[in-house]
Chains A and B, each alone.
Chain A
Amino acid sequence: MIKNNRVYGIIGVGAYMANFNADLSGYPKTTTNNDIFGSDKALKYPMKRMWLIEGDKVFYIKSMTIAKSKKDKEMEILQPKDLIERYEDLFGKEWDANLTVKDVAKDLFSTVDIMNFGATFTGSESESKTAKKKIGHNISITGAVQINQGFNLYEKTNVLVQDILSPFRNPNDKSEDKTATSIGTKIVTDEAHYVYSFSVNPANYADYLGLIDGFEGYTTEAYEKFKRAARVATTAFNTNSKSGCENELALFIELKEDSKLFLANLDRYVEVRKKEKQTLYDLSKLAEIIAPQQEEIQSIELFHNPISVEVNYGSLPCTVNSIF
């Protein structure tokens, strides 16, 4: 099924004693006035992991291979696959120079991550296998789904630094820890609520219709996969630093088929605060902004965690469901 209508929405992620997205220093990413935010990548990654685990084709995700070290030919090292290795592996075919740019684009669109988020596929060389291979195609696909930076909208967030003990000692003679095990740090936020806004614009693929054999545009199947991932992927993803992070709220505003309405950064109309023990997402301003646009809207669906999150959605004409 082809999806033609546009969707705007919001994804709320809570982080409890967790670090949803750190910068190079290990602290949560911030802007100059210390507003904490998470990148679009931090949100997309758990989605891609979820699709991968569920058996869908995902192109842009790290996968490893064993290769010979360049410095010492005898030594084997574990390293991420390069572009051609990943391409051959995922699509089960040999890369050869006769593959046209249209063939490659068709393969790329067959993966769920590129169908949703787009791709930047650039020319590259691979020498790790027997023959030296070269990609000459540059393909840039602007994804139908675009996600913003998600700012933490909770004002009482504290950043905590905790010492953690490593099980090993540092054998370096100059080290202070040479006779004991070393100490590391783990940095978390006690409680943060990241609010992302996103858009789904199937028109981004209009240019490819008729160019690629059998390609008909953005599909309902891909959208449904995105929609499910937007509701549960972060909760499902449990690495050390993200184990306290969970999906709390997801809002999907479906426009009518021909609507070209532009709604940017819906997150600026959202407020997050505490109401007794629950987290309150206040969408009443958003409802005001949306109200004059009723003509253009087909349906609005709201999903939230019914146990920990309360939503004040004001006059927003939406159906309310559990996020799980």
Chain B
Amino acid sequence: MKSLRFTLSGPLACFRQPDVNAKVYFTYNNIHKVALLGLLGAVIGLSGYRNADLYGQGEKLYPEFYEVLSPLLVSVVPNVKNGYFSKKIQYFNNSVGYASKEEGGNLQVREQWLENPNWTVFLAQHKLDASIWDKLCDYMLRGQCVYIPYLGRNDFPAQISDVCLVELSVSKSLRIDSLFLYSGDLNTLDGGDPSQYLFVETAPTSLVPKHNFYEFGRYIFTNCTLPEDELPPYLYSDGVRQYSFY
């Protein structure tokens, strides 16, 4: 299988968690599938979430990037020890009076940022329309973009480097070297000693039609092995490491 591989990085990133919306905004540790599709949509010029009222389009099922790109399969490898990036809560003020209904008109924002995130990302065409896939590969390989792709906030541009097409083969080893989605019992994970690690995060996997809420899955990054009958689908290998596509 042909796959488009690239390194995605930046000095800072923030993929906001929607479940806390006051006092402090938290970020997911890794770029999740919906955010990654949005970033790729920016590269080839697909539109994002927008005010349907302004465009007189009526209600759409999904934002354009998701409608077009969701058949794509992705695999993400966090390039950091144990899959965990350092994070810090940053503070800023918004003192124009109309930012909020705070008393005194001053909105204080605390936001958690990822520092120096770096992922190796693989894309697989899967059921994506061939013309879109070719366009995406072409733009990525030539370092072009229609809109500037960013890591969760538009003041954090994404650095995309080492873009290339690689050949992957179907594989079924018990150890997965990328993030994968797993809803099974964590106690069945085995091995990895003496420096066993297990990173677990519930993060968005898809969008709900029309309302565009996130649907969540449990992302895992570990050096443990999985029971054979619990292996996720779409496992591919480059001969050295095995990647899970979702």
Contacts and interface: CB of A to CB of B under 8 A. Distances in A.
Interface of A: 23-24, 29, 31-33, 39-41, 60-63, 79-86, 101-102, 105, 124, 137-140, 142-143, 146-149, 151, 197, 199, 201, 203-204, 207, 211, 260-262, 264-265, 268
Given A31-B115, A79-B104, A81-B98, A140 B51 contact: yes
A81 B51 contact: no
Contact of A102 (B54, B97, B106): B54
Interface string B138-160: 01000111111110001111111
Given A23-B90, A148-B157, A82 B98 contact: yes
A116 to B, nearest CB: 13
6 contacts: A23-B91, A41-B92, A101-B54, A105-B54, A147-B155, A265-B11
Contacts of A124: 98
Interface of B: 10-12, 43, 45, 47, 50-51, 53-55, 86-88, 90-92, 95-98, 104-106, 108, 113, 115, 139, 143-150, 154-160
A122 B86 CA distance: 32
A29 B110 CA distance: 13
B158 A142 contact: no
Nearest to B49: A140
A265 B10 contact: yes
A149 B11 contact: yes
Contacts, number: 118
Most central of A140, A204, A211, A260 by chain B CB within 10 Å:
A260
Most central of A29, A148, A203 by chain B CB within 10 Å:
A148
A143 B155 CA distance: 11
A318 B42 CA distance: 30
B97 A146 contact: no
A29 B89 CA distance: 11
Contacts of B50: 140, 207
Most central of A62, A105, A201 by chain B CB within 10 Å:
A62
Closest 4 CB pairs of A and B: A80-B97, A83-B98, A80-B105, A260-B144
Contact of B88 (A31, A199, A204, A268): A31
A256 to B, nearest CB: 13
A39 B92 CA distance: 9
B47 A207 contact: yes
A199 B157 contact: yes
B95 A80 contact: yes
A308 B125 CA distance: 53
Contacts of B11: 148-149, 151, 265, 268
Nearest to A212: B54
B53 A137 contact: yes
A203 B146 CA distance: 7
Contacts of A79: 97, 104-105
A206 to B, nearest CB: 8
B157 A146 contact: yes
A62 B155 contact: no
Contact of A101 (B51, B87, B88, B113): B51
Contact of A82 (B10, B88, B97): B97
A62 B105 CA distance: 10
A262 B54 contact: no
A264 B160 contact: yes
Contacts of B145: 260, 262
A126 B90 CA distance: 30
A261 B145 CA distance: 6
B88 A32 contact: yes
A163 B124 CA distance: 60
B121 to A, nearest CB: 15
Contacts of B108: 24
A83 to B, nearest CB: 3
A33 to B, nearest CB: 8
A63 to B, nearest CB: 8
A261 B144 contact: yes
